[in-house]
Amino acid sequence: MTPPALFTPLTLRGVTLPNRLVVAPMCQYSVTEGVVGDYHLAHLGRFALGGFGTVLVEATAVTRDGRISHGDVGLWDDGQVEGLARVVSFLHSQGTVAGVQLAHAGGKASTHRPWDGEGPVTPDTARPGEDPWPTVSASDVPLGEGWPQPHALGTDELAALVADWVAATRRAERAGFDVVEVHAAHGYLLNQFLSPLTNTRTDAYGGSPAARMRFPLEVVAAVRAAWPADRPLLVRVSAVDGAADGTTLEETVAFARELAALGVDAVDTSGGGIGGGWAHPIGYGYQVPAAAAVKAGSGLPTMAVGLLTEPAQAEAVLATGQADLVALARAAQDDPNWPLHAARELTGSYDAWPVQSGPRLASRDRLLTSIDPWTGPDPVQLAPPRT
């Protein structure tokens, strides 16, 4: 039997991903000063046990001021390496590829954790000891109503940020990661440069699409040079902004061609984050066409996201060549065993399950087929014990 496309390996440079299912970066806002501990070991480790071939650690700040919130993971300091190395070690022990997304929030920094409220932190709404901090962006354009005006970065500050990305990349190597992903999506700093809605600069870093790409491409080039040549580099993009008058899919395809020229190995194709909402049709797999367009236009492998909820649906994305990887976030949180359940559904067997559980579940299935199905609320009446 030909294995499902979801469960075939993919080799990028010197790293072989054991299957095509990826845990997308999911911010947990659950650390102090960027240092991960037991929570992240359990949170990320369960996805390895659940059969995901690759796990990407959430947006990890390259500077302290580049955090989204006070609870973000970081790699701006050497003291943050050890906790992530512990996570990487466990992922590797389960045969899982470990990746990390390096990010800077730009004008979306200094925000509340989602459960503390929406929008930016203010002196009146801050938790004790968690004061807001000034933000930076491509231009002094607030992200929306109620957001503070960020500082427009000067060219000397841009060069310093490139160095920060390089330093974080080297720490990621020390932690043992197999894959680095540069975050240029979802309205964060690099996306703020790419989007005409937030980049109103008149220097060499603003204006035309090529100029708006300049700083993100400088970051990617520097990360690629710092990252080992045998390890893949991914870039996450927002194929379109949330507003219809923002970044276009055609501009993103052109950006992806430039990424290919720099040695990027795959594009993680998402959308939105700038523009105050979503002005495009939404449905199951609604962002897959963007992944297909980027793949066709750039020649790079792509990762598809966006309401991919069913195994047959995800399988079809790969089988039809629209993308090369499928990333899950909310579906993975809802069911960390999603790949194992998908393997069972698509192959009819428990062969993909860990040896600690697969044979037991198979024997339970055999038992269940030998008895009448349960149909009512009453418990089965057991025979009384012999006296």
Q: What CA–CA distance (Å, rounded) separates 107 from 120?
A: 10
Number of other residues whose CB lies within 10 A of the CB of residue 240:
25
121: which residues sit within 8 A by CB, 6+ positions away? 69, 70, 110, 111, 112, 130, 131, 132
Q: Rounded distance, CA 100 to CA 238, Å? A: 18
Catalytic, 188? Answer yes
User: What is the DSSP secondary structure assignment for residue 77, as one 8-state letter?
Assistant: S
Which stretches of 157-254 are assigned E, i.e. beta strand?
179-184, 233-238
> Which is the catalytic residue, given 188, 205, 286, 350?
188
Q: Read off φ and ψ for residue 16, nearest 5 degrees.
A: -105, 115
- Rounded Cα distance between 60 and 100, Å, is 7
Q: How many whole angstroms separate alpha carbon 313 and alpha carbon 210?
A: 36
Which 3 state secondary structure label does DSSP give 54? strand
What is the pairing mode between strands 10-12 and 97-103?
unpaired
> Hey, which residues are catalytic here?
188
